[in-house]
Amino acid sequence: MLGGSYTKVVYTLIQEKNFQEVIRIAGRFLAENPRSRAALSLLGFCHYQLQDFQSSAECYKELHLLFPELPYYQLYQGQALAEGGFYDKALEICAKLSDKNEEDKLQLLAFIEYNRGNFRKCNSYVVKIKENWKKYYNLGCCHIQEGNFTEALTLLNIALNKAGGIPQIMYSIALCHYKLKDYTTALKYLGSIVELAIKIHPEFCVGLVVDSAGAVTNIENTLALHKSAIIESLNLKAACHYQMKSLNESKEALLDLPPREEHDLDSVTLHNQAILDVEFDAMESCNKLQFLTASGEPPESLSNLLLMLSKYENFDMAHTTFMQYQEQAQNILPKYLFDFFAAFLMQSSNKEQAYSKMSSLSGRVAENLRKIAGRVQDARRQKDESNVRKAIADYENSLEQFIPILMAQCRLLWITKIMRA
């Protein structure tokens, strides 16, 4: 065991969230006492809090080998492996867990399948979990991934009523409202998350105005930061204001983010910075999007990079990028958007053929608009308000696709006529 004075120091440091110092102390003690359960437990816990999941898993693996009569260490090892993205290894651990851990095992299996994108398989585990807020939350998250935002809201609101103001639940509710284009309601939930983070975690420096000397302490990507949902909430707040054409408020939301070193920034923050800073430094924005496209996260990076290059008429680079990531584009882009880029970017080599393909695409989208308009009329004749709302939403989405296609087609026609003149 750690001595009494060590224990007091260590738990004071944990309370202060100084996990690095705890790791230093526990590591030194472990070097002298290789079988110390206390030291290994502290190291596993602190590495987990700092999101060094691989190191955490190694500590819990050693604890399980030393104390096999305590089954929870193997569970903790599996959880750390899953959080770190080592899903196959985590599944191997799940297969070894005893029946006493059945509920935790189901939670872990659901987590693994969710992060692998197997949402139906995730659902099959979640429905077996006992009735609690986590069950409704997990089911709601699965519905979000499948695009069922209205159904997700029903489940997430049940989770919120059962659990209270947990940031992850409120964020998921805000995300649903964002996807349903109800930005005002989304901003209400996001505001609650920000207020909660400021109150509970002043160390995050949310909304801090940096002085001229830049006197601010950058924070690390800890588990507490992750659980606060402040990073994704401020990014979603920026996205809401961006959709509402309130660019200043969108930029302010990103400025409110907790200060972090550039290498600690997540892909969504980098992506949103690139979009909002393009007018000030288009080259830097393109570089960020190229970096994110190469990493594959977030998926929107590729389409926004192609749009940005096209906006500044760098068609050769846009065409080269499209061809380089064609397989990725087919997997992540909606079909209409893939066809749009395939046609529009052909202008770098054959403008007339590009116009012909764009004309064919606009014809297909226009035909789809006519069909949806027919659905609206049919639903109105039948006085089916639910189908009326759904058909109108489909029409608006299709119209959003059609207008840029039509504008691009007109541009190609104009350029082609100039060339013929």
Number of domains the chain is built from? 3
In a domain, 414, yes or no: yes
Span 53-68, pLDDT tens digits: 999 999 999 999 999 9
Q: Is pLDDT above 90 for 389?
A: no
In a domain, 267, yes or no: yes
Span 96-153, pLDDT tens digits: 988 777 889 999 999 999 999 899 899 999 999 888 899 999 999 999 998 899 999 9
Evaluate whether 227 touches 253 at the Cβ level (below 8 Å): no
Residues 371 and 395 in one domain: yes
CA 123 – CA 103 distance, rounded (Å): 14
Residues 149 and 243 in one domain: yes
Residues 323 and 380 in one domain: no
Residues 240 and 158 in one domain: yes
Residues 152 and 241 in one domain: yes
Among 311, 331, 351, the domain boundary falls at: 331
Which residue would you say has higher pLDDT here, 98 or 369? 369
> Running DSSP on this structure, what letter comes out for residue 150?
H
Q: Is pLDDT above 90 for 196?
A: yes
In a domain, 10, yes or no: no
Q: pTM for this one?
A: 0.81
User: What's the domain range around 303?
Assistant: 260-331
**Range in 176-180, 204-208, 225-229 the model is least confident about:** 204-208
The residue count for the chain: 421
Among 290, 306, 331, the domain boundary falls at: 331
Cβ neighbors of 84 (< 8 A, separation 6 or more) are 53, 54, 56, 57
Residues 135 and 241 in one domain: yes
- The predicted pLDDT at position 2 comes to 52
Averaged pLDDT, 378-384: 87
Averaged pLDDT, 325-331: 89
Residues 162 and 241 in one domain: yes
Among 331, 349, 364, the domain boundary falls at: 331
**Range in 7-11, 80-84, 197-201, 303-307 the model is least confident about:** 7-11
Taking the CB of residue 59, how many other CB atoms lie within 10 A of it? 25
CA 293 – CA 306 distance, rounded (Å): 10
In a domain, 410, yes or no: yes
